[in-house]
Every structure is written in C-alpha cells, then in structure tokens.
Amino acid sequence: MQKLFLFLVFIISLNFSAKSLHPYHVGSVEFKYNEKSKTFEVSARFFLDDLENAVNKKYGKTVHFNDAKFKDQINVLLKSYCEDYLKIKVNNKAIKLNYLGFEEDKESVDIYLETEAVLNPKKIETAVSLLYSYYDDQMNIVHIIVKDVRKSSEVVYPNRYLYQQF
C-alpha cells in the first residue's frame, strides 16, 4: 500500500508541482482480512497537512502532527474522526472498528484500526469519506484483501460506498 501511495504522489507531483505541494487530495485505505485473528486490519494513509487541516476544522482545535505535545489529543480526535468517516459491513452486518493509533512522518500519516472478529467474509461494504468534510476533490483509493485476493477501487467525492464480493 505504501508503494502505491508513494507512486501516486510521485506521478501527481511530476505533473503539477508548479501549482502547489499537492494540488490533488488523495489518500488510501486498506482493509485486509487476517485469517488467524478473523479480523480486518485497516490502515489509512493521508498527506499530513491535509489530515491536520481536516481534523482541526472538524473539531475547532489547533493540533499539529510531528509535535509530541499533541499526540494524546490527536489520538482522541482521530478515534472520533474515524468513527464518523470510516465504516465496514461484512455479509450485511455492520462491524465495529477499533482505533489502534497512528504513525507520522514529515509528509504523511498512517492510521491503524482493526475490526471485531468476523467469519467467512464474502460481501464487503465500506463507507470511506475521510477528508470529505474538508476537501470536495478528495479521492480515496480503497483496497479490500481477502484470502490474497486484492480488489482496489477509487472512491471520489461525493461517492463514499464500495461493494466487493469475494
């Protein structure tokens, strides 16, 4: 997932670097089913400044990634943010997502979540609208992986729903 994200960033920056740091707002979300734990491991990656802007606007706060004094507050805000903008249903049943934490570097933030246990995932439905509240040109690349079968799609504002059958 990281390689695809970095590749997309590279291509976009080659074509549009003169306009701004990144004129398109793109992120990626991966739902990977773990056969051992029977859970979906979820990871999401966004440009640091885009996520920071969206979280600050939504909650009327001023927090900064890459500043240790905000880490606890960011964890609380990201947990709530993900609850609002990231959903999954498996076999027509809504599944709880548990926020695990985040990692950051100079340019991006990775968010980690995990679902409760689910058996035999066949029909996967996701609702991904992360950063939609801040950017009306947000594109999220969503990957769903079950038993080594990867299905990937673009979800572009205002669309948020993705259905995959395995």
Q: List, for residues 103-133, the tens digit of each pLDDT value.
A: 999 999 999 999 999 999 999 999 999 999 9
Question: Helix, strand, or coil here: 6?
Answer: helix
Question: Helix, strand, or coil here: 161?
Answer: strand
Q: Picking from 4-8, 10-14, 78-82, 158-162, which range would have the lowest pLDDT averaged per residue?
A: 10-14
pLDDT value of residue 43 = 98
pLDDT value of residue 4 = 54
Reported confidence tier of residue 22, pLDDT bands at 50, 70, 90: low
Mean pLDDT of the chain: 90
ω into residue 121 within 30 of 0, thus cis?
A: no
Distance of CA 130 to the CA centre of its chain: 6
Question: Helix, strand, or coil here: 114?
Answer: strand
Strand partners, 126: 88, 162
pLDDT value of residue 6 = 47
- Whether residue 5 has pLDDT greater than 70: no
Q: Picking from 13-27, 35-49, 57-71, 107-121, which range would have the lowest pLDDT averaged per residue?
A: 13-27
Report pTM.
0.86
- Name the percent of the chain lying above pLDDT 70: 87
Reported confidence tier of residue 32, pLDDT bands at 50, 70, 90: very high
Average pLDDT over residues 136-147: 97
CB contact burial 139-152 (16+ within 10 A = b; e otherwise): bbbbbbbbeeeebe
